[in-house]
Amino acid sequence: MAIESVSPTDARRRQGRGGLLVDVREAPERASGMAEGALGVPLGVLLESPAEALPDQARDILLICEGGKRSMEAAAGLLQAGYRRVASVEGGTRAWRAAALPLAYPAGDPDFHDRYSRHLRLPEVGEAGQRRLLAARVAIVGAGGLGSPTAYYLAAAGVGTLAIADDDVVERSNLQRQILHAEARIGTPKVESARVALQALNPGLRVEPLAERITSANVERFLEGADVVVDGGDNLPMRYLLNDACVKLSKPLVYGAVDRFDGQASVFDAGRHRGVLPCYRCLFPEPPPPEFAPNCSDTGVLGVLPGVIGLLQATEVIKLLLGLGEPLAGRLLRFDALAMRFRETRVPADPDCPVCAAGREFPGYIDYQQFCAG
């Protein structure tokens, strides 16, 4: 028996005359918007128990999916099961949307479902995961080369609150790699420039700027309420301070660093996993002497390199917030831009680490003399 195919407009008319519109997509897909008045029944459920979902075999049934393929499959199954009046909507929900026909959203928030539709279609994220991102607070130290791509993609992904600390102002030399900033904002505090750029991308985002250098006096205040902390600077004293604070406060730290053509990233989560996962001091127990400390102002950095590492950091943050996949905890990922090669090194927890060793009391903060330009 031939399957009847109808346009979205005709389906809407028949719906108004008593026809039942059935959306056979999966729930994460329907969360991004479905034809108004449609009944959501996934294809597999419908074909397995059609009588349970649609008890009236004589009713006018209009089937719709994303593009039209699954609705045709559903229609064939219903006809074979004895349903008499079955039709498939041509072009599916995409065509329905293009025809400017009314849509409905499960939670009644069109911006949420439209903006994050690609996340909502991932079963590993879905609506529950996206709302978890919206409820999250991420603290980012540094609004420069690494902090820029990390913050930008976290804002786009829908992380609800970004706290950003940086005491510097935008300079023209920053614009080669610090994508949050623009020519018109030269001389503006970086955290304010970051707020402007991030809220232009996602107006619903909450940005908490702190135009201060992170020290032992303010680090705990800044990290309070953060679900994940991002090391987005190139200041070694700050890096050790952040590490120690995250161990003390039991917060995961997403680390990144760049120099010339090389970058590296990792996750240090010793505060929540004492004696099992390492902290930054397990890898580098003490800062190097000032004369051996890297300084981007002196050595330079390939402009795109912080983008690569910052995106890795943003990915790790999202994974940690959603509990997805395998974080870089216990692994140091190194990137050689010239060879276009990644290498991974295992980093074990140091049982004698002065900060994170199991059962060790917190030794207190050390404000090392600053020797690397921010």
For residues 177 and 301, give the distance between their C-alpha atoms in angstroms, rounded to a whole number: 9
Q: How far is CA 211 from CA 199, 214, 272, in A?
A: 17, 9, 29
Residue 255 · residue 267 · CB < 8 Å: yes
Q: Which helix (H) or strand (E) holds 75?
A: helix 69-80
Q: How far is CA 233 from CA 113, 140, 287, 311, 362, in A?
A: 34, 9, 15, 14, 24
User: Which entry of 65, 279, 282, 296 is annotated as an active-site residue?
Assistant: 296
For residues 89 and 62, give the distance between their C-alpha atoms in angstroms, rounded to a whole number: 7
Tell me the DSSP string of 229-265.
EEE----HHHHHHHHHHHHHHT--EEEEEEEBTEEEE
Nearest to 214 by CA among 256, 163, 166, 176: 166
Active site residue 372: no
Residue 262 φ then ψ, to 5°: -120, 145
Residue 270 · residue 349 · CB < 8 Å: yes
Nearest to 32 by CA among 116, 134, 113, 95: 113
The residues annotated with a catalytic role in the active site are 296
